[in-house]
């Protein structure tokens, strides 16, 4: 049913749970997994002396998050494409889903955010609000919210 599954990860328990669903669905369907991780915008540092360092650090830690997840998927036998992009995260996810013609987006209900009263975080909320692609929202076990 699915050819290209976009998995959005931020390193949170919810996203790790989402990975399991993306992995199992991709294995069932022989689908490719497009792994997306967005690092925080660096725009505020534009032109400042430390800009290069800040960008390099954020890209490197972005790849750490993405590469761990990619390895887990590859070890399961899946074909994985890694996209580490500058945020905002929802824009990066929406853009990749569009450009790569993904037929499913899998993501966590929440992430690292600290406001636990909301059912959905701002990234999952924004993706749901703006995409035509089916979305699977996964919540980590034992976490009613947050």
> Does 11 interact with Mg ion (rule: CB under 5 A)?
no
CA-to-CA distance for 97 and 104, rounded, in angstroms? Answer: 8
Q: Which is nearer to ligand ATP, 49 or 138 (CB)?
A: 138
Q: How far is the CB of 123 from Mg ion (least distance, A)?
A: 5
- Footprint of ligand ATP on residues 17-76 (CB under 6 A)? 18, 36-38
- Footprint of ligand ATP on residues 115-144 (CB under 6 A)? 115, 121-124
CA 63, 21, 143, 127 torsion: positive or negative?
positive
Return the one option of Mg ion, ligand ATP, none that residue 89 interacts with (CB less than 5 to 8 A, by type): ligand ATP
Q: How far is the CB of 116 from Mg ion (least distance, A)?
A: 12
**C-alpha count within 13 angstroms, C-beta hemisphere, residue 126:** 12
3-class SS of residue 94: helix
- Write phi, then psi, for 133 (nearest 5 degrees): -75, 140
Q: Which stretch binds Mg ion (CB under 5 A): 22-30, 37-45, 56-64, 119-127?
A: 119-127
CA-to-CA distance for 36 and 94, rounded, in angstroms? Answer: 10
Query: Token match 């590469």: residue?
Result: 67
Q: What tokens does 51 get?
A: 């800009």
Asked whether the beta carbons of 123 and 93 are under 8 A apart, the reply is: yes
Near ligand ATP by CB under 6 A: residue from 2, 5, 6, 15: 15
Q: Which is nearer to Mg ion, 29 or 40 (CB)?
A: 40
Q: How far is the CB of 50 from ligand ATP (least distance, A)?
A: 22
Give contact residues for Mg ion (rule: CB under 5 A): 111, 113, 121
């Amino acid at each position: 049913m699915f050819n290209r599954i976009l998995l959005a990860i931020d390193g949170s328990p919810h996203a790790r749970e989402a990975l399991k669903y993306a992995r199992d669905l991709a294995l069932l369907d022989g689908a490719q997994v497009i792994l997306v991780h967005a690092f925080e915008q660096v725009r505020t540092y534009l032109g400042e002396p430390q800009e290069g360092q800040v960008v390099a650090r954020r890209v490197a830690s972005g790849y750490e998050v993405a590469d761990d997840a990619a390895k887990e998927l590859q070890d399961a036998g899946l074909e994985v494409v890694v996209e580490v992009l500058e945020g905002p995260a929802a824009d990066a996810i929406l853009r990749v889903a569009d450009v790569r013609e993904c037929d499913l987006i899998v993501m966590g209900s929440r992430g690292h955010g600290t406001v636990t009263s909301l059912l959905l975080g701002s990234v999952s909320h924004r993706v749901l609000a703006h995409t035509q692609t089916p979305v699977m929202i996964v919540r980590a076990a034992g976490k009613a919210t947050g």
